[in-house]
Amino acid sequence: MLRDHPTGNYRYMPGISAFSCGTVAGPGHEIVHVTLAALLPWRDGFARIERHLREVKRPRTALCGIELRSPAPFTFDGFGTFNEGYRKLLADWSILVGEDNPIPRTNVAPVAAAPAEPSLYASPTPSPAPPPSPPSSWRARASSGIARRGPRASCATATSRRTGCARRRAS
């Protein structure tokens, strides 16, 4: 069951203490995925996220996901140790909702070009969505013209076309 983040403009599906099962943008918002040009050690990455959120006038609680790259897969103990510091940072940012960690997280250990320490790769955040625009196939039309020929032909209702339709019917 999805739960609302009270100040983040997103909903989340609870998971375990380390991460949630996913997020979805709240009404009037869209998820914007920000990928770093170069990996940053994860704590430096959070400083960069904070700077970005300030630049776009969003609160820290708008962070709704984390994508990490690690030097190798975590051992069970290593995963626990990492999560202690990670969860503390989320608590310091007021992101936790009660005991829930609403942030989904990936932990990818690349085979090639792995970082020396767990590093931030990307972070999604909800941002106010632009107003919807009409589909690209939408067109405004002033009149429809003749739909079929013959004595029962239909005509456009625009005043400027009535005379032309009347002549066509007569012929």
pTM for the model stands at: 0.74
Domains and CATH numbers, the chain: 3-128 (3.30.1330)
How do residues 45-83 score in pLDDT, each as one tens digit?
999 999 999 999 999 999 999 999 999 999 999 999 999
Going across the sheet that includes 29-41, the strands are 29-41, 119-128, 66-69, 105-108
The residue behind tokens 């909903």 is 11
Residues 168 and 162: their CA atoms lie apart, in Å, by 10
Whether the predicted pLDDT of 163 surpasses 50:
no
What DSSP designation does 104 have?
-
